[in-house]
Amino acid sequence: MIGVSPRQLPEWAALVGHAKELAKTDLRHLFAEDPGRLAWSTFEVGPLHIDLSKHLIRQETLVLLENLARARFLPDAITAMLTGEHINVSEDRAVLHTALRNGANLAGPVDGIDVGVEVEKVLTRMEQFARAVRANQRVGCTGKPFTAIVNIGIGGSDLGPAMVTKALYDFSDKSRAVYFVSNIDPIAIDEVFNRCDPETTLFVVVSKTFGTLETLTNAKAARQWLLKALGEHEDAVEKHFVAVSTNADLVSSFGIDTENMFGFWDFIGGRYSVDSAVGLAIMLAIGPERFRSFLRGFASIDQHLRETPLSHNVPVLLGLLAVWYRNFFGAQSQAILPYSQRLARFPAYLQQLTMESNGKSVRIDGATVDYDTGAVYWGEPGTDGQHAFYQLLHQGTVLIPADFILFAEPLGGPDAQQDLLFANGLAQTRALAFGRDDAELEELGVPAQLRPARRMPGNRPTTTILAQRLTPEVLGALIALYEHSVFTQGVIWGIDSFDQWGVELGKELASELVPILTSAGAPVLDPFDTSTADLVSRYRHMRGRPT
């Protein structure tokens, strides 16, 4: 399977022909020709209702996509992931984020680790710690309770906890503020220092490797800030710093006692780690019970993935639809449009999940792909997006499939506004799907010369995800849905969705540049290209350093 381009497969060719057929029709006709459309294109999964009816598909499309999935051995790949095979080939690792929400499903140890037991042990320690902090029993070195939690991490060690903490704010203990520092930009940590009091601040340093420049630099700055104020207390660092990492040695060489470390494992990828100890800040905010319910949301989708035939397997279908648009319609990007202010960071979170996973151009067997892989994911909450970029979604020249995430109940505020919010989201999916043609414009009295500009082409595909309310469980389910969609896409493309070698070179070159930018004397710039050398000189000049 791995050594073959999916383009060589007859199942791929069948989809090419089918896409051509579908290009001759549109969503108005697709709805009209099949009164039973809703029956095969809408699904209930966990706490979510999923409507795929406004996609450029017929029932047959799903069958053809399923055929492709079988030809790529997707069912075997799902089993391989769920049972801890080393499917992350380039790093020779298992991929077991699903064990974080139900380790009991694993038949036995993986790589010598009884994963279910170990996951539970860490969860229990997290819970004890979170309860103690939330009850003001675990306090700072001067005996004061913590009023601020500062999560220092980047990428998967920031985006997940930051997104979820914001999303579930209404379920959190508001007596403690939770801040996130990720960027190495000095102003980021400075903003937090300005808002916090060292005596009542708890730092959670999160880094899978504990070797990430941004995180260690910010953590060192935080330690310095703390010791400046509380240095006379021997236990200042011990009381005010905890770590989340897989690397106990580096945690203790940083000066954090491993007693204050919450572990996870190599088989949890950074972008798949929000439900591991990486979610400690979330648990501190929402409490252990709600964190468990967050995990249950993930587990409901995992169970669905494991037990449901491909034809009704929603995350699989979502992944296959992503392939459908990317490879058979040339779609370059995918919009994520949550109609919830609390999900403002969800698109950013998904950017790492999707783009770090599937932004690959080499297959697992080392061959360069001869087809497109991961799309660009982006988005903003509705209705703000409507007044910014939806114009291009409706009338632009590129096809951008969009996911609309809608809720029935508000999390607070004037209740009637939820009706307006929902109406807006639903209206957009209608306008995108069915547009408005010249005959309708004429009926509305629009003069002929204005009709081209006001014509709404429609036929723009959307997924609608509907849930009662944005609860911890719903959010867990939503994340798992995307995780498994990303996985499905990666299997079709034959790529390793769990490594991220593309980010390494930039890190290496940055550390090479630091001494060149900061040296006391003028550096030798010969090894650099002329653009880089020029920019180094300009920067040094602007910083008052000899050039």
Q: Catalytic residue positions?
A: 356, 387, 507
Number of residues binding to ligand F6P, judged by CB under 6 A: 14
- Binding flag, residue 156, ligand F6P (CB under 6 A): yes
- Binding flag, residue 270, ligand F6P (CB under 6 A): yes
Rounded Cα gap, residues 337 and 407, in angstroms:
12
- Binding flag, residue 429, ligand F6P (CB under 6 A): no
In the complex, minimum distance from the CB of residue 178 to ligand F6P, in angstroms, rounded to a whole number: 18
In the complex, minimum distance from the CB of residue 354 to ligand F6P, in angstroms, rounded to a whole number: 13
In the complex, minimum distance from the CB of residue 361 to ligand F6P, in angstroms, rounded to a whole number: 18
DSSP-derived letter for residue 88 is: B
Nearer of residues 352 and 428 to ligand F6P, judged by Cβ: 352
Q: Among residue numbers 62 through 91, which ones bind ligand F6P (CB under 6 A)?
A: none
- Binding flag, residue 244, ligand F6P (CB under 6 A): no
Query: 62-92 burial by CB neighbour count: b if 16+ within 10 A, else e?
Result: bebbbbbbebbebeebbebbbbbeebbeebe
Scanning 115-123, 208-216, 296-304, 429-437 for contacts with ligand F6P by CB under 6 A, the matching segment is: 208-216
Scanning 22-30, 153-161, 286-294, 320-328 for contacts with ligand F6P by CB under 6 A, the matching segment is: 153-161
Nearer of residues 246 and 300 to ligand F6P, judged by Cβ: 246
- Binding flag, residue 212, ligand F6P (CB under 6 A): yes
Nearer of residues 68 and 150 to ligand F6P, judged by Cβ: 150
Rounded Cα gap, residues 251 and 150, in angstroms:
17
Contact 238, 184 (CB under 8 A): no
**Site pattern 100..139 for ligand F6P (x: CB under 6 A):** ----------------------------------------
Rounded Cα gap, residues 359 and 347, in angstroms:
16
Structure token pair of residue 401: 């499939």
Could you count the other beta carbons within 10 Å of the beta carbon of residue 233? Answer: 17
Q: Among residue numbers 315 through 374, which ones bind ligand F6P (CB under 6 A)?
A: 356
* Strand order across the beta sheet in which 333-338 lies: 42-45, 48-51, 462-467, 402-407, 333-338, 376-378
In the complex, minimum distance from the CB of residue 393 to ligand F6P, in angstroms, rounded to a whole number: 30
- Binding flag, residue 217, ligand F6P (CB under 6 A): no
- Binding flag, residue 61, ligand F6P (CB under 6 A): no
3 state SS of 234? coil
In the complex, minimum distance from the CB of residue 345 to ligand F6P, in angstroms, rounded to a whole number: 15
Amino acid identity, residue 213?
A: L
- Binding flag, residue 98, ligand F6P (CB under 6 A): no
Scanning 207-215, 224-232, 256-264, 322-330 for contacts with ligand F6P by CB under 6 A, the matching segment is: 207-215
In the complex, minimum distance from the CB of residue 207 to ligand F6P, in angstroms, rounded to a whole number: 3
- Binding flag, residue 215, ligand F6P (CB under 6 A): yes
Rounded Cα gap, residues 340 and 100, in angstroms:
27
Q: DSSP string covering 281-341, please?
A: HHHHHH-HHHHHHHHHHHHHHHHHHHHS-GGG-HHHHHHHHHHHHHHHS---EEEEEES-G
In the complex, minimum distance from the CB of residue 69 to ligand F6P, in angstroms, rounded to a whole number: 27
Rounded Cα gap, residues 241 and 261, in angstroms:
9
- Binding flag, residue 276, ligand F6P (CB under 6 A): no
- Binding flag, residue 209, ligand F6P (CB under 6 A): yes
Contact 299, 102 (CB under 8 A): yes
- Biggest CA pair distance of the chain: 80
Nearer of residues 212 and 463 to ligand F6P, judged by Cβ: 212
Nearer of residues 171 and 498 to ligand F6P, judged by Cβ: 498
- Binding flag, residue 271, ligand F6P (CB under 6 A): yes
Q: Among residue numbers 483 through 502, which ones bind ligand F6P (CB under 6 A)?
A: 500
Q: DSSP string covering 473-512, please?
A: HHHHHHHHHHHHHHHHHHHHHT--TT--GGGHHHHHHHHH
In the complex, minimum distance from the CB of residue 157 to ligand F6P, in angstroms, rounded to a whole number: 4
Contact 148, 201 (CB under 8 A): yes
Rounded Cα gap, residues 95 and 81, in angstroms:
6
Contacts of 207 (CB under 8 A, 6+ apart): 153, 154, 157, 215, 216, 243, 244, 245, 247
- Binding flag, residue 155, ligand F6P (CB under 6 A): yes
Nearer of residues 105 and 217 to ligand F6P, judged by Cβ: 217
Nearer of residues 212 and 464 to ligand F6P, judged by Cβ: 212
Amino acid identity, residue 352?
A: Q
Nearer of residues 182 and 464 to ligand F6P, judged by Cβ: 182
Find the binder of ligand F6P among 41, 151, 165, 207 (CB under 6 A). Answer: 207
Find the binder of ligand F6P among 23, 117, 503, 522 (CB under 6 A). Answer: 503
Q: Among residue numbers 291 through 320, which ones bind ligand F6P (CB under 6 A)?
A: none
Contact 273, 156 (CB under 8 A): yes
Nearer of residues 199 and 499 to ligand F6P, judged by Cβ: 499
Contacts of 225 (CB under 8 A, 6+ apart): 193, 198
Structure token pair of residue 234: 């021997």
Give contact residues for ligand F6P (rule: CB under 6 A): 154-157, 207-209, 212, 215, 270-271, 356, 500, 503
